[in-house]
Amino acid sequence: MASLGQTVRTLMAGAALVGFADLARADDYGAMSEGRKLDFSVTLGATSDYVFRGISQTLEDPAAQGSVDLTYGIFYAGIWASNVDFGPGSPNAEIDLYAGFRPTIGPGRFWGPITFDFGVLYYAYPAANDSGAELDFVELKAGYSMESPWIRGLTSGTTLYWSPEYGGEVGEVFTLESVASYALPQIGIFAPSISGTLGTVYGDRNDGFSPGGTRTEDYQYWNAGLALSVEKFTFDFRYWDSDIDVVPGGGGLCTSADLCDERFVFTAKVTLP
């Protein structure tokens, strides 16, 4: 993991430098000149199961969630919250803070507009009992998304997340996540779209990282679903799964196979104003 960590950190540093270079000349592409005002939005929602990277965070129970987001040109910041349940004695809430910037370049002759995303996230679990291991952790991220110049409505991208000390104090963890979405033709009042995600989480068992209590040092998760948007409302129907093998009592990220196997999740949310 040392060589992998050094390589990934170098790539993230290089990507950040590219992002700052793009930011410095963003006016040439119009990224800074468009929408240079402070925008504010609030999102409220509920989900049948809060799943994070393939693992249920609520023991397969529903969750109420919400966020407040601020944007100014290419810069953004926000706060997101949800109830959680990891079992007896666990915290009952997660509060995430995040900030970053999203410069856009293009489109070019053979590629559509590319939006980069460089940011930092802080995952907090208030009232958690950290006598065993600290749950709060920080991640840095670097990614991009691109509109396809050949298939109208198709957007895809990849984001790399790096945490120097993942939740539960299991050492350095990397997550590589790719997403693709396709906007379908309007159906009555609904604007439908389909999307999917494929992610891989890498850790080091010598630091205590284990997906399911085995000696495996990485795992994959994925989802696919349909979203229906109407006015300010979005209804999402999604299938989740992962390849985590669980050893009961093994002390991994997923403590029970029921929490990281296949499931269907329904989410509804509204964004204001």
Please enumerate, as own/partner, the contacts of 197-200 that have beta carbons within 8 Å and a separation of 24 or more.
197/221, 197/222, 197/223, 197/224, 198/222, 199/53, 199/54, 199/175, 200/175, 200/176
pLDDT digits (tens, 9 = 90+) for 63-99: 999 999 999 999 999 999 999 999 888 899 999 999 9
Higher pLDDT, 5 or 85: 85
Residue 6 confidence (pLDDT): 53
The half-sphere exposure of 252 on its side-chain side, counting CA atoms within 13 A, is 26
Report CA Rg, the chain.
19
pLDDT of 7 strictly over 80: no
Domain boundaries of the chain, sorted by first residue: 2-33+40-272
Compute how many other C-beta atoms are within 10 angstroms of the C-beta atom of residue 35: 11
Distances (CA, A) of 218 to 5, 22, 173, 190, 253: 14, 33, 9, 39, 11
Q: Could you tell me if 226 and 237 are in contact, meaning their C-beta atoms sit under 8 angstroms apart?
A: yes
pLDDT digits (tens, 9 = 90+) for 132-168: 789 999 999 999 999 999 999 999 999 999 999 999 9
Domain 2-33+40-272: state its class.
mainly beta
pLDDT bin (cut points 50, 70, 90) of residue 15 is very low
Q: Could you tell me if 159 and 120 are in contact, meaning their C-beta atoms sit under 8 angstroms apart?
A: no
Residue 155 confidence (pLDDT): 97
Lowest mean pLDDT among 109-113, 124-128, 222-226: 109-113
Q: Could you tell me if 49 and 38 are in contact, meaning their C-beta atoms sit under 8 angstroms apart?
A: no
Element (H, E) at 7: helix 2-24
Lowest mean pLDDT among 62-66, 230-234, 251-255, 258-262: 251-255
Tokens of 93: 């809430």
Q: Could you tell me if 52 and 166 are in contact, meaning their C-beta atoms sit under 8 angstroms apart?
A: no
The chain-wide mean pLDDT, for the chain, equals 89
Residue 128 confidence (pLDDT): 84
Q: Could you tell me if 191 and 164 are in contact, meaning their C-beta atoms sit under 8 angstroms apart?
A: no
Residue 9 confidence (pLDDT): 52
Residue 31 confidence (pLDDT): 41
Lowest mean pLDDT among 24-28, 73-77, 240-244: 24-28
Mean pLDDT of 199-224: 96
pLDDT bin (cut points 50, 70, 90) of residue 20 is very low
pLDDT bin (cut points 50, 70, 90) of residue 5 is low
Lowest mean pLDDT among 7-16, 115-124, 264-273: 7-16
pTM of the model: 0.87
